[in-house]
Amino acid sequence: MADRFYYSSDAEAGVQTADGGLVEGDRYRLDAVEPDAVDLASMTPPGAGDGVSGGDNLRRWVQEHATGNDGAALQSLVQMLRQRGYLSHSLAPEGGPTPKWAAALQGYQLQPSASGHSLARIDRMFERLLEREDDPRAAASGNFVAAVGDDEQFAVATALIAHELGFPARVVVGTRLVSTDPKLSTCESGECRASDVTAWTEVQGSDGRWAPVDVTPQWEQSPSLEVTQQQDPENVTEVRPDTVEEVVPPEPVQEDNSTDDDPRPDDGVDLAWLWASLRIVGLSLLILLVLFGPFLAIVIAKAVRRRGRRRDADPRSAIAGGWDEYVDAGIDAGRTVPRAPTRREVAEAFATPSGTLLAEGADRAVFSSENVDDDEVAAFWHIVDEERRTLTRQRGFWRRLRAAVSLRSFLRFLAPRPSRRGSPHRDERGKRSTTLVDRDTT
């Protein structure tokens, strides 16, 4: 096995290429010098440079809660994030058994958690945190838990927070040997197993030293909010005594109308027919609105969704939205999406002329570090429009009409999946499916 093991000191990583990979019973021993612990609170930021920045919601959350830009402020933000986060590794299995990692946590309530570490996925966590902080029920109950995810996602979130304060940061995947937090799992007796693999964040101070930061969120308090009971206000009613007044009726006046032969004056044109016509037209329009209003609302909702995706201010998100539009058109047209697909697999399943080209363009925009300009977005959406027309033209008129009012593309985000959810552009290859509590991770 030693002849098939390669290690790069520059990348600080190794790979085992033996036939079949590692099997049960394979072991290795690492002798190293453990560096002195670095106090995060005493660190000062050297400036993060031009690294990746977080989204608008993350930036707003940091601005509202940061007490400075030093290591103590970063430590306070990380502690708040862990307290208001909730540990989850996957979607809830529909009708299936509880995952082993969840069953091992006493009293744990399984919450669905989407995979991925994209900026949109992380920014969604902080959007949920801000929404919870604005909810008066959260302050009344003291429950501000809203961000749901695993250790890898919280490690990415912490790295982005550190960048906002001017600290260079990196996400580390490995095994935790020691920790000052007794709730986090460590390698027992120095023996690390696959279930001990975890992730954390390291930040660098102005002196060049790196400090590890544990970011695994808590799991004791669920994100669910109890509905607060509000009592109607008590309005004081003034009770007045009844009073009786004697009312004398007037004298009756007798009129003889038998001789009233005066002709009635002509008031003009009789418009009774107009009112009857307007009533018939109104009822007809109401019936048409009841019958076809829901379908019209679906068509309008799809147009609004398509317009929002196309005009997204972030070019990468606009291209990712274009891919979502292509997938939604295929689903509404009756195409079947493979389970846990990549974009290329979806394109091959739809079998449209330029589907593979769209998959490659979306992957390049989402995962590549290359800049994306507005011309590339316009060209990508031009292909999306052509593919959408191709998907609808392949069916007859009634099939096209059904696709136009289909709700399948809206409902697909609610359908639970084994390890991925929602738009294929959010999925990432290589996402590890692990068990928790053996793997209580950061």
pLDDT of residue 107: 77
State how far the Cα of 357 lies from the Cα of 344, in Å rounded to an integer. Answer: 9
CB 213 within 8 A of CB 203: yes
- DSSP assignments along 310-346, one per residue: HT-SSHHHHHHHHHHHHHHHHHHTTPPPPSS--HHHH
CB 50 within 8 A of CB 23: no
pLDDT of residue 93: 63
Angle between helices 272-310 and 397-404 (to 10 degrees): 80
Enumerate the β-bridge partners of residue 210: 204
Residues contacting 175, CB < 8 A, separation 6+: 187, 192, 196, 197, 198
State how far the Cα of 89 lies from the Cα of 106, in Å rounded to an integer. Answer: 16
Which candidate, 387, 386, 381, 307, places its Cα nearest to that of 347? 387
Alpha-carbon radius of gyration of the chain: 32
How many distinct helices (H) and strands (E) make up the chain?
13, 7
Which candidate, 253, 263, 380, places its Cα nearest to that of 316? 380
Low-confidence ranges of the chain (pLDDT < 70): 1-2, 20-21, 91-96, 226-249, 251-271, 340, 394-396, 398-400, 412-442
For residues 407, 408, 413, 414, the Cα torsion angle rounded to the nearest 10 degrees is: 80
What six digits make up the tokens of 339? 């389970």
State how far the Cα of 203 lies from the Cα of 163, in Å rounded to an integer. Answer: 9
Query: Tell me: the pLDDT tens digits for 44-96?
Result: 999 877 778 889 999 999 999 999 999 999 999 999 999 999 998 876 666 66
What six digits make up the tokens of 168? 């260079």
The amino acid present at 109, given as its one-letter code, is Q
- DSSP assignments along 17-49, one per residue: -STT---TT-------PPPPP--GGG------T
What six digits make up the tokens of 413? 């985000």
Look up tokens 């808590």; give the residue: 218
Helix (H, G, I), strand (E, B) or coil at 53: coil
pLDDT of residue 426: 40
pLDDT of residue 234: 45
State how far the Cα of 240 lies from the Cα of 223, in Å rounded to an integer. Answer: 51
Which candidate, 339, 344, 365, 364, places its Cα nearest to that of 354? 344
Helix (H, G, I), strand (E, B) or coil at 173: strand
This prediction's pTM: 0.47
pLDDT of residue 65: 95
CB 394 within 8 A of CB 89: no
Query: Tell me: the pLDDT tens digits for 183-237?
Result: 787 888 778 877 778 899 999 999 999 999 999 999 888 888 754 333 444 444 4
State the number of CA atoms in the 13 A half-sphere of 96 facing the CB.
13
For residue 201, the surrounding DSSP H or E stretch is: strand 197-204
